[in-house]
Amino acid sequence: MIRLCLHAVTQSAPTLWQRLGIGQGALRGLIIGLGVALLSACNILPESPQLNHYELPTTALEPLGEPAPYTLQLLTPYANRTLSTQRILVNPEGHELRAYDGAAWVDTAPALLRERFAQALLDTQLVYAMTFSGESGAPELVLQTHLYRFQVHYDDGQPVVHVQLNAQLINRQTGKILAVHPVYVKRPVTDGVQLEQVIPVFGQAADDASRQLTQWLHETLQQPNLLHSTSSTSAK
């Protein structure tokens, strides 16, 4: 029965066009017209909003002494899916995270902070050499960080930039954690609530976090027999 129906439809299709008086030329024109209409419909769909991209402002740090005789591998901070974004996050109230309209960082938050920490290590001249993940070399130490906050919180109606992370210094050969240090910076935005006033404070908070991180590293790298020491947690 199914075969018979299909056969009947197949056979009757040309006859139907003939009865309607539509020739092949007219049919071809109808198909082209439908295609043009579909393309026109695509053009009136709403376009994706344009984003203004912002760099993270930085301030150079002062050298902290002679470089320690180590090669350090700097890893990109680990972060959850929400923080691993280019959007500039804000928590206006409660536990909801939003993004500033029409604005984004030039890279994801973890990548921005990796570059900021790399610049801080170069400025302070903490180690003999530094590498990134995937680069050649044989680093003795690995700096690993976990990012928990890189966003604006509204505290009593005032925007405050929060940068929170936890750093671990690791013996690359053994995988042993040699030292741990938490960093939590809160910087209020005092000049207003617009994004133009918020961006510089993100830079100041990242500078503070870099300063705390490098100061802790400087003190840790001065320890004798560092590669053979046991794990220690540094106070904030």
Mean pLDDT of the chain: 84
pLDDT digits (tens, 9 = 90+) for 134-180: 776 789 999 999 999 999 999 888 999 999 999 999 999 999 999 99
Give DSSP secondary structure letters for 82-126: TTSSSEEEEE-STT--EEEEEEEESS-HHHHHHHHHHHHHHHHT-
Is 152 within 8 Å of 193 (Cβ atoms)? no
CA dihedral 66, 72, 74, 78 (to 10 degrees): -110
- For the domain made up of 52-233, give the CATH fold: Rossmann fold (3.40.50)
Is 106 within 8 Å of 46 (Cβ atoms)? no
Question: CA–CA separation, 142 vs 147, rounded Å?
Answer: 16
* pLDDT at position 228: 78
Is 227 within 8 Å of 178 (Cβ atoms)? yes
Check whether 102 has a pLDDT greater than 90.
yes
> What number is the average pLDDT over the span 62-76?
94
* pLDDT at position 16: 45
> What number is the average pLDDT over the span 111-116?
97
Check whether 181 has a pLDDT greater than 60.
yes
Nearest CA to 165 out of 78, 98, 44 is that of: 78
Nearest CA to 77 out of 160, 158, 168 is that of: 168
Percent of the chain with pLDDT over 70: 76
Is 215 within 8 Å of 205 (Cβ atoms)? no
**Phi, psi dihedrals of residue 110, rounded to the nearest 5°:** -60, -40
Nearest CA to 152 out of 200, 214, 224, 220 is that of: 200
Check whether 42 has a pLDDT greater than 50.
no
Nearest CA to 126 out of 67, 75, 72, 61 is that of: 67
Check whether 43 has a pLDDT greater than 70.
no
Question: CA–CA separation, 121 vs 118, rounded Å?
Answer: 5
Percent of the chain with pLDDT over 90: 66
Nearest CA to 229 out of 170, 153, 162 is that of: 170
Whole-angstrom CA distances from 102 to 50, 86, 105 are 6, 12, 11
